[in-house]
Amino acid sequence: MNPYINHFHQIKRECPDLRLERLLSTASKFGNPDRMRAFNLPLIRTCSAPDAGIATPSCQSVCYSRKMAEGRPAVFHRAELNWSIVHRPDFRQVMTGAIHEAGLQIIRLHGFGDYFSSAYVEDWHIVTALCPTVEFLSYTRAWRRPDILPALEAFGARPNVHLHYSADVDTKYPTSGSVAWLSTKDVDVPPDKCTVGFRSHIARKFIPLKQLGNTTVCPHENGMTHYPPACTECRICLKN
């Protein structure tokens, strides 16, 4: 049997409190859970930590993840368990085993949470190399951290990684890489074409909009697509 799967099973038996069978989370937006799942981390320990230097006033004002974590204790608890797992010395092996066993096609890194150190980015660099047939989708504001950016640039260059730098009116526009733009108001148009645009729930509730300037809005947020495709079918964010 695959040695990574063996190790995953061993740790699952030895550490039942980690609930490794639920390490990778599902979401209705993703579509088939046998094809795509997510790995999340706590907001307060990563992107919204006071000294993180990652979150902005704009993203915090409309953060769906914060509302989800507050309203769904099980989601918060899963993220806390994941926080303990990423600090294990065998994190790379455990995660690789979980992905191999699940037979997934796409992993969404950090539906909430973010990269908190260059060493953690390098962990994922290794995991993605050990899972070459799996695609990894991620949005990050950690590009604003000079101590993390070089590791992100190397990580984003991997052929099976789709890494997008999240930006808004409070950030400088990234000078390189793919950009995902967050608009809290529809007048917040990106200064250049981005890979994808996201709108706050307040904006999309009242005004249908498929474009922010010349950037395509995620079909789940444009207020016009009545039956938006699953992420596995849409693939706007999964194009190299």
Domain locations along the chain: 3-170
SS3 label, residue 226: coil
pTM for this predicted structure: 0.93
What local confidence, expressed as pLDDT, does residue 55 receive?
84
Taking the C-alpha atoms of residue 228 and residue 224, their distance in angstroms, rounded to an integer, is: 9
Taking the C-alpha atoms of residue 201 and residue 188, their distance in angstroms, rounded to an integer, is: 14
What local confidence, expressed as pLDDT, does residue 170 receive?
92
Nearest to 200 by CA among 81, 18, 63, 35: 63
Nearest to 84 by CA among 139, 23, 26, 129: 23
What local confidence, expressed as pLDDT, does residue 53 receive?
79
Low-confidence residues in the chain, pLDDT < 50: none
Q: Which residue has the tokens 């938006």?
A: 228
Instruction: List phi, psi (to 5°) of 91.
Output: -55, -45
- Burial call 135-161: b when 16+ CB within 10 Å, e when fewer: bbbbbbbbbbbeebbebbeebbeeeeb
What DSSP line would sit under 100-150, residue for residue?
Answer: HHHT-SEEEE-SS-----HHHHHHHHHHHHH-TTSEEEEEESGGG-TTTHH
Range list of H helices, 54-90? 57-61, 64-71, 73-86
What local confidence, expressed as pLDDT, does residue 161 receive?
98
SS3 label, residue 238: helix
Going from the C-alpha of 222 to that of each of 19, 30, 67, 207, 216, the distances in angstroms are 36, 17, 21, 8, 9
Nearest to 133 by CA among 162, 101, 106: 106
Q: How confident is the model over 60-113, as pLDDT tens digits? A: 877 766 666 565 678 888 999 999 999 999 999 999 999 999 999 999 999 889
Q: Which amino acid is at 136?
A: F
